[in-house]
Amino acid sequence: MNWNLEQLRLFVQVAEQQSFSAVARQAQRAQSAVSNAIALLETDLGVLLFERSSGRQPRLTTAGASLLEEAREVLRQCERLDGRALGLVRGEEVLLRLAQDEAMPYQPVLDSLEALARQFPLLEVQLASGAQGEVACKLLERRADLGLLFHQEQMPNALERQRLGTVDMVTVCGVGHPLATAGHVDRRALARHRQLLMAPQYPGGEQISPAVWRTDSFYAMAELLMRNLGWAWLPRHVVQYPTYQGQLVELSSDWTPPPLVVELVCRRDEALGPAALWLAECFAQHLRANG
């Protein structure tokens, strides 16, 4: 094996930008140097990675397309290695910045932070809560070290995630809503009333009713429900929050969305320290215990 990481980086960049010249300008190198690096990589791998035609953008061959994700993973592994090494040099954290979705189950979070204080008494902790999209932004902008959020399909490449557990969803409405006294409700009954849903990029169930309002917060949704503005699927622990006791009614329904998946998220290029790793495992245990 004679290929190197720089050749892999150039391969991935050319595949993503579909231009040798653009990659050369970005790397402040001659276009011929980029082309030669890719050619040497092809020779070492024994396959043609790009179809080259005069005046046309380079296009991945079948072999190139099949090797592209492998190359990305090698580069991701290198980022992890650098991050792990940096973590070893740093040793135990002095500060841990945790960002969480505001609707994260509060009891497992509080129990875990209480245990963290005992395990790492000198550690400073900064806790930030917000709507789901804000958690990823804080990590990307390096304003948080660790994130707790609900699974979403699109996750920035710079972030890495790990499944910790699940949270049950229930069908609810306000005590003054027409469905509150209906007993068991089917999809047809639900479709006759306004449905409150999370914004499209966030998890929270499928649209059943033609009339829909959307929000990016389960707690904002609960406030709307208390004003009898519709029905919704909410995490069970949100419905049980003391503020909403006696204000929301859990409905018996023939269908509820699958549980929300809780994920731990961090930057791929920054290794988690011992306190962050310990907190993640502690939270997973408390989440399972409260499930």
Tokens representing 263? 């994920």
Write the CATH number for 63.
1.10.10.10
Residues 47 and 83 in one domain: yes
Q: Is 183 helix (H, G, I), strand (E, B) or coil?
A: coil
- What's the residue count for the chain? 291
Total domains in the fold of the chain: 3
Domain boundary among the residues 57, 88, 119 is at: 88
Asked whether residue 17 falls in the same domain as residue 134, the answer is no
| pLDDT recorded at residue 87 | 57
Alpha helices, H only, 28-166? 31-45, 62-90, 106-119, 132-140
pLDDT at 32: 85
Q: What are phi and psi of 260, to 5 degrees?
A: -75, 135
Place of tokens 């949270």: 167
CA distance linking residue 279 with residue 256, whole number of Å: 31
CATH number at residue 224: 3.40.190.290
The reply to whether 79 and 98 lie within a common domain is no
Contacts of 251 (CB under 8 A, 6+ apart): 170, 171, 172, 173, 179, 180, 182, 184, 185, 231
What CA–CA distance (Å, rounded) separates 22 from 66?
A: 23
Within this chain, do residues 197 and 245 fall inside the same structural domain, yes or no? yes
Q: Do 160 and 265 lie in a common domain?
A: yes
Q: How high is the pLDDT of residue 90?
A: 61
CA dihedral sign of residues 7, 13, 14, 15: positive
For residues 98 and 141, membership in a common domain is answered with yes
Last residue of a domain, one of 26, 54, 88: 88
Residues 12 and 82 in one domain: yes
pLDDT at 117: 94
Predicted TM-score (pTM) of the model is 0.66
Residues 78 and 183 in one domain: no
Spatial distance between the Cα atoms of 230 and 224, rounded to a whole number of angstroms? 7
Q: Which residues of 217-240 are buried (b: 16+ CB within 10 A; e: fewer)?
A: bbbebbebbbebbbbbbbbbbbbe
Residues 81 and 97 placed together within one structural domain of the fold = no
Indicate if 159 and 265 belong to the same structural domain: yes
Averaged pLDDT, groups of 10, the chain, 291 residues long: 86 88 86 87 89 78 90 87 68 86 90 93 89 86 92 84 91 95 89 91 79 91 96 92 91 85 90 89 88 61
CATH of the domain at 155: 3.40.190.10
Looking at the structure, tell me whether residues 198 and 230 fall in a common domain. Answer: yes
Domain that holds residue 143: 92-164+261-289
Within this chain, do residues 266 and 146 fall inside the same structural domain, yes or no? yes
